[in-house]
Amino acid sequence: SLEVVSKRDLEVSSNEVRSMISAYARGVNAFIESDAPLPVEYKLTETKPEKWEDWHSVLIYKVRNTAEGSFQAKLWLAKLAQEIGPEGVARISTGSQPGALMTVPPGAEYAGPALNAIQELTKVVNVTASLLETDGGSNGWAISGDRTVSGVPLVAGDSHRGLEVPNVYYQIHLKGPSFQILGYSIPGVPMAMHFAHNDYVGWGMTHGGADTQDLFVEQLRYSSGRVEYFYKGEWLEAATNIEKICVRNGESEEVTVIETRHGPIIAGSLDSGWGLAISDPGSGAGTEWLDAAYSAMKARSADELEKAFETWTDRVNNYPYADVYGNFGYLFKGRVPSRSEVNGWGPVPGWTGEHEWDGFIPSSELPRSKNPDSGWVVTCNQRVVGH
């Protein structure tokens, strides 16, 4: 399914984006075919790189974003509910108290769950200090020129990532006839989408933490030569696709991917009669995130940057930004589905029709702030809204 989605996203992209990605693929393949030594990882794994195709650059991003979504937390909550019950899950998932500060400004006093948690952690600091580094979260700030020595706004940020192979980011400097940009690219994607700046505007990025993926429990059966799923009192035909999985030192295996109105089945089986489907905005019918990233790299002001991110889809991110004209601010951008709050707690019945998505929250209604009187914006993993 990710292959189909990746090719579809590339197809709906502009000629400029497709040209850039195609040129990148030609460069990768030229290197592979040259006599230049390959990275040591290929020697250690006794493998050779396959030919790079244009859609691979989209797939790289899709795989990472799918894995960083909210579906895993919902699976965990469902498993936890089996052990301690829904009331127990609610007690340890209290969220923020009504009226609690989302970001604590200088000089303000804070009291709440976060402070209590910090006090508890100090009691076991010797134990927690030996834990492995956690992977996730980032920090980002933008401050007004009224608060800087230079008199122009500043943007700062840092990505909290674990050590990975290949590394999650690759620093690049892209320069062409119409723009130049410095920033972080994801290896395999020839764009600087996170933590970047050109001659006019710069921005950082942190994970938006929005709940954008849902899990639906589906009733499945095989009848009259076709795969079906139950929905609102009738059996509907499911889409199927044969995928080949290559097995190292073994024979390839073919698997049948089943897809319902809620998305592909990622767990369960026809034999059991049950399956778990995942709904993800990034798996929709051709999204325009590639053009959003391309437009952001070419933005010549804060206004143009905001406009560029209007069509950003996945993953939902926070963007602190500033431009050379003295503007600074914050954007929360991505495609967030509108649906029942029940969907946020775990897998929901897919056959009732009571938990369907009702479109997406309009981009204009997502959190944003431009040139606030405070003189600063901050996004450091805190909740960005009070609900």
Q: How many residues does the chain have?
A: 387
How much is the pLDDT for 105? 65
Per the prediction, the chain carries an average pLDDT of 87
Confidence of residue 166 (pLDDT cuts 50, 70, 90): confident
Tell me if 292 sits within 8 A of 180, measured CB to CB.
no
pLDDT digits (tens, 9 = 90+) for 362-386: 988 999 999 999 999 999 877 776 5
Q: Is 216 helix (H, G, I), strand (E, B) or coil?
A: strand
Concerning whether 252 is annotated as a catalytic residue, the answer is no
Exactly one of 6, 13, 70, 138 is catalytic; which is it? 138
User: 172, 185 in Cβ contact below 8 A?
Assistant: yes
Whether the per-residue pLDDT at 279 is higher than 70: the answer is yes
Rounded mean pLDDT, 318-334:
96
User: Is pLDDT at 118 greater than 60 in this prediction?
Assistant: no
Least confident range of 74-83, 217-226, 349-358: 74-83
Domain ranges, ordered by start, for the chain: 71-211+284-379
Whether pLDDT at 361 is above 70: yes
Average pLDDT for 154-179: 85
pTM (2 d.p.): 0.86
Residue pLDDT, tens place only, 292-312: 999 999 999 999 999 999 989
Residue 90 has, within 13 A of its CA and on its CB side, a CA count of: 4
Q: Greater confidence, 248 or 137?
A: 248
What pLDDT, on the 0 to 100 scale, is given for residue 65? 82
Nearest to residue 191, comparing CAs of 32, 65, 73, 24?
Answer: 24
Q: Are 57 and 191 in contact (CB under 8 A)?
A: no
Domain 71-211+284-379 has CATH 3.10.20.880: no
Extract the tokens encoding 269.
């089986």
Q: Quote the Cα angle for 59-278-53, to 5°.
A: 10
Q: Check residue 70 and give its pLDDT.
A: 85
Residues 180-192 as b/e (b if ≥16 CB within 10 A, e otherwise) read ebebbbbebbbbb
The answer to whether residue 130 scores a pLDDT higher than 60 is no
Residue 181's region, left for phi above 0, alpha for psi from -120 to 50, else beta, is: beta
pLDDT of the residue at 95: 57
Could you read off the pLDDT of 17-51 as tens digits, one per residue? Answer: 999 999 999 999 999 999 999 989 889 988 889 99
What pLDDT shows up at residue 128? 46
Of the ranges 105-109, 136-140, 272-276, which is most confident? 272-276
Spatial distance between the Cα atoms of 295 and 282, rounded to a whole number of angstroms: 19
What pLDDT digit, counting tens, does each position of 349-358 carry?
Answer: 999 999 999 9
Q: What is the pLDDT of residues 226-269, one digit of tens each?
A: 999 999 999 999 999 998 998 988 999 999 999 999 999 999 99
Question: Cis (ω within 30 of 0) for the bond into 281?
Answer: no
Q: What's the mean pLDDT in 263-286?
A: 90
